[in-house]
A and B are shown apart, each in its own frame.
Chain A
Amino acid sequence: MSDPTFEEPSSEVRLSRNIADKTTQRHSYRKIAATGWTSRLFPGARSAIYLSDDHLLHAKQILLFEKYRRFYFSDVEAISFSKSNRWIWVSVVWGFLLFCSLFWYLGHQTWCYVTGALSCLFFGGLLLSNLIAGPTYVVNIQTAAQIRRLRPVERESQLVKFQETIVPIIMQAQQAQQADINPAAA
């Protein structure tokens, strides 16, 4: 006797499944944060966070693929963040390269001046944008099954905005779930 679990469903069941599949809600995603344009230069560094009805989607682009991780609001256990010194070190690097760019002016040639000006403009712009973007953090999101680093919200302004958007939604989802489980307590 065959196990009914692995039997091919009847045509009626298949029809109802197809209808159910077609009526399954397709999620619409709204981008809430993304890594900066410099991340496009490094494969695997580009990622973005999208907001859906019941979950967060972390999309990480690795050259030819895009990998997705879902964090359902009802499953999120913690969001932890630590201050990091990355922005200081990056500023030091851009500042050093800006200083090195000034050596072009020792050339006393027109093309040296032009190259120096362009170089100063480039590295100065990077330094300025890094300073304007502000301090960096290391942000992790934790569920029972996974802990993931959220690179798109590692700047202070992005992190504050992310918290303001996400924390109320997570709290609301988990309180609603709690109310479903234990209506008396709610």
Chain B
Amino acid sequence: MSAGAFCPICHRLLATSQWNLQDFTACPNCQAPTRTLVFPAMVKPTSSVRPEPRNETEAGCFFHNNSRAENVCSSCGRFLCSLCTLTFGSQKLCPDCIYRRRRQSSEPLFRDQTVLFDNIALLLLVVPVLCLVYIYLGLIFSGFALAIVIIGWRQQRPLVPRSGYRFVLAAALSVIEGVGWIALVWLVVWLIQSHPTDFGL
């Protein structure tokens, strides 16, 4: 059983008499009007994880041969005792599978973050223009951004649906900025060559 429900404002424990009321009640500590919906998981007794010993006729845990198997790993099918069973939603997994699947970037169940390549590419294109670094390194930044777009198009795997328009926008901007930078340099060179005296040459 958990310690209880906490006030969202002051993070202090709320009284059990405040659970599942229809109206707002004042938090005993900060007096903020608070309402708490408590679910059966709050009062669920914590089951002992001490594995039971097995007898001759029972199957043993893969990891602890003397403990009675109580579950089967959803991923690899190993027999597991209560100590080795780790529950993820509807799946029961063994520690070995969790370790292995955490290392796989393609495994969505254990992924806790993803890199947004489209945002990186857009930042690489926008920030140099705002900082005027574009004048000197515009071609390099647009090249980098285009490379990130190409890599990220295949590598970016967000868990949730994400539109691809940012990639298209970044690709278009990188081409425009690259061509623009070449045109700018060409213009400067042409001006210097056509009017060398104006530039002190």
Query: A142 and B76: CB pair below 8 A?
Result: no
Q: Return B1 CB to nearest CB of chain A, in Å.
A: 9
| Chain B residues in 8 Å Cβ range of A77 | 2, 5, 38-39, 41-42
| Chain B residues in 8 Å Cβ range of A170 | 39
Against A, the Cβ 8 Å flags (1 = close, 0 = not) of B90-117 are: 1000001100010000011101111110
Query: A65 and B115: CB pair below 8 A?
Result: yes
Query: A82 and B8: CB pair below 8 A?
Result: yes
Contact check: which of B19, B116, B159 meets A64 at CB < 8 Å?
B116
The B-contacting residues of A in range 119-164, CB under 8 angstroms, are: 138-140, 142-144, 147, 149, 163
B131 at the binding interface (Cβ < 8 Å): no
Q: Return B113 CB to nearest CB of chain A, in Å.
A: 5
Query: B160 and A140: CB pair below 8 A?
Result: no
Query: B96 and A5: CB pair below 8 A?
Result: yes
Against B, the Cβ 8 Å flags (1 = close, 0 = not) of A61-91 are: 1011111110010111111111110000000
Query: B159 and A82: CB pair below 8 A?
Result: no
Q: A21-B75, A65-B116, A82-B27 are in contact. Are A50 and B37 (CB under 8 A)?
A: no
Total A-B contacts with CB atoms under 8 angstroms apart: 138
Q: Return B61 CB to nearest CB of chain A, in Å.
A: 11
With CB as the reference atom, state the residue of chain B lying closest to A63: B119
Against A, the Cβ 8 Å flags (1 = close, 0 = not) of B1-35 are: 01001111101001000010000100100001111
Q: How large is the interface on B (under 10, 10 to 19, 20 to 34, 35 or more residues)?
A: 35 or more
Query: A80 and B36: CB pair below 8 A?
Result: yes
A82→B14 CA distance, assembly (Å): 12
Q: Return A85 CB to nearest CB of chain B, in Å.
A: 10
Query: B160 and A59: CB pair below 8 A?
Result: yes
Q: How large is the interface on A (under 10, 10 to 19, 20 to 34, 35 or more residues)?
A: 35 or more
Most buried by A among B38, B39, B97, B107: B39
Query: B39 and A67: CB pair below 8 A?
Result: no
Query: B42 and A78: CB pair below 8 A?
Result: yes
**Nearest 8 interchain pairs by C-beta:** A77-B42, A54-B89, A80-B36, A138-B8, A78-B5, A140-B8, A82-B32, A82-B34
- The chain A residues found within 8 Å of chain B, CB to CB, are 5, 9, 13, 16-17, 20-21, 24, 26-27, 29, 31, 48, 50, 54-55, 57, 59, 61, 63-69, 72, 74-84, 138-140, 142-144, 147, 149, 163, 167, 170-171, 174-175, 178
Can you report 6 A-B residue pairs in the complex whose CB atoms are below 8 A from each other? A24-B75, A54-B89, A77-B2, A79-B36, A83-B32, A84-B32
